[in-house]
Amino acid sequence: MDHNLETYATTRIGSRYFLWGERTYIMGILNVTPDSFSGDGVYLDTETALDQAKKMIAEGADIIDIGGESTRPGAPGITVEEELARVIPVIQRLSSEIDLPISIDTYKFEVAEAAVKAGAAMINDVWGLKRDPRLAALAASSNVPIILTSSQRDEPAVDIISAVIADLRRAIEVALASGVAPGKIIVDPGFGFGKTVAQNLALLRRLDELKVLGKPLLLGTSRKSTIGKVLGDVEPKERLFGTVATTAIGIMNGADIIRVHDVKENAQTAKMTDAVARGFHV
């Protein structure tokens, strides 16, 4: 199954070049929150955060995604000041000690702006420019890629595939109109964001239909509640095998980046799946 598209051959993120279609890239999740749904947050502890990032790099991560506000359903919002206090010291420390690109997981302009100044090389907006479209102008002026996610939390969908495609098309148009280069846009269908279990499973099964957008696809299923429900209401830390199954299916259906908590296991899964889907390389 060849998922190479000439429209997005290469994207530079930080000092690294991502050659889409050659292999699947791994984004390691680094939560600097006290209330991460999966219990893996490293709240206000830059030393622990650095150790965790180095561990993920050793296990095969290609990008470190730092988030200071939980995006789980029902999580309380936090102020810009609190989010800055959580993420900026970690980004400053990591950017000075690791050479992997750092992504900032935020939908707040002020946080993203400070994060890019502190060393973040990509913006990951879980609201797909719905909450603050200024993020697109920031990505353009800073010359960093932006990840646009489709969330249905404000507007539940009936036909999930067409809704996600339409939503991502809207976000892409906003980004392009703000000056973001076409090759610096990555899309995320938003697994778990305002979607039912059936819709999440359909999204994974039909992920290749999103290739019509002509952008690299990021998939974030790691430890999410759909996996827990399918497996019989198991806790987040018991969802590893379910997660790696979604990783393999996602890659076979066109995912270019996998966003995960458990880097080692998913990196191995990606490598094996890539050998089948993209061709084996020693």
Which residues are tagged catalytic? 224, 259
3-state secondary structure the chain: CCCCCHHHCEEEECCEEEEECCECEEEEEEECCCCCCCCCCCCCCHHHHHHHHHHHHHHCCCEEEEECCCCCCCCCCCCHHHHHHHHHHHHHHHHHHCCCCEEEECCCHHHHHHHHHHCCCEEEECCCCCCCCHHHHHHHHHCCCEEEECCCCCCCCCCHHHHHHHHHHHHHHHHHHCCCCHHHEEEECCCCCCCCHHHHHHHHHCHHHHHHHCCCEEECCCCCHHHHHHCCCCCHHHCHHHHHHHHHHHHHCCCCEEEECCHHHHHHHHHHHHHHHCCCCC
70/41 Cα distance (integer angstroms): 9
59/210 Cα distance (integer angstroms): 29
